[in-house]
Amino acid sequence: MRRFALPVVLPVASLFLAAGPALGQVLPPPQNVLSLAAESTVEVPQDLLMITLSITREGSDAAAVQAQLKQVLDAALAEARKAVRPGQLEARTGQFSLYPRYAPKGGINGWQGSAELVLEGRDMPAISQLAGRINSMAVARVGYGLSREVREKVEADVAAQAIQRFKARAEDYARHFGFAGYSLREVTVGQAEATPPPQQPAFRRATMAAAVSDEAVPVQPGKASVTVTVNGSIQMSPR
């Protein structure tokens, strides 16, 4: 004779009573938990130079003004392409704008436009010399920055310093609060941020080609501050 096991059915109320304490249990708030942050900053010489050249034209006909801007920009870009070396010296066009000029009593009485050529890269002497040779355009802005290679190399070192400072600060705080030590609960390492020094005033040249020499544009890079911040919380351990 074959025997069959009968299923055991418990009342629904009993199931909820049995699971009730586990499901409805309210965990106590964490105790002896401390949130803190630490950061590290390193100054790095800037190795990127960006010089923005610009040209402005105005006239009564919009198409004529645009054509003049394009002619000057094409010639400057052709000169710049002769010196282009990837990563060391690169050239690209910047803003190109054309907008109406209004009379005091209303209505359009002319057009004004501007165009930009941007020279950038790590070869600062070559960039400054090229900017001096393109005497059909004026220097509008001079800026500096960090290359990706320098940023990535410095970021690892700065992050390691910030983490060590976080650990040292956590140990000091735990001891000052009267605890034996600590364990790490959570931590976040922020992305490195590079803060450039205040922007240098733009070195401007006369817009008239006859008044402009082909001497190199004077440049002097500064230093950028690379900062990494570590945020987290620790569980302080009693003695």
* The pair of three-digit structure tokens given for residue 98, joined into one six-digit string: 């054309």
pLDDT(81) > 90: yes
Worst-scoring range by mean pLDDT, 19-28, 99-108, 117-126? Answer: 19-28
pLDDT at 213: 52
| 124-137 CB burial, b ≥16 within 10 A, e <16 | bebbbbbbbbbbbb
pLDDT(192) > 80: no
Q: Is residue 121 packed enough to be buried (19+ CB in 10 Å), middle (13-18) or exposed (0-12)?
A: buried
pLDDT(182) > 80: yes
pLDDT(49) > 60: yes
What's the pTM value of the predicted model, to 2 decimals? 0.68
pLDDT(104) > 50: yes
pLDDT at 207: 36
pLDDT(32) > 60: yes
Q: Which CATH number fits domain 48-145: 3.40.50.620, 3.40.640.10, 3.30.70.1380, 3.30.70.2970?
A: 3.30.70.2970
Structural fold of domain 31-47+146-199+222-239: Translation Initiation Factor IF3 (3.30.110)
* The pair of three-digit structure tokens given for residue 69, joined into one six-digit string: 């801007």
Residues constituting the chain: 239
CA torsion through residues 40, 44, 48, 52, sign: positive
Indicate the domain borders of the chain.
31-47+146-199+222-239, 48-145
Q: Say if residues 211 and 162 touch (Cβ distance below 8 Å).
A: no
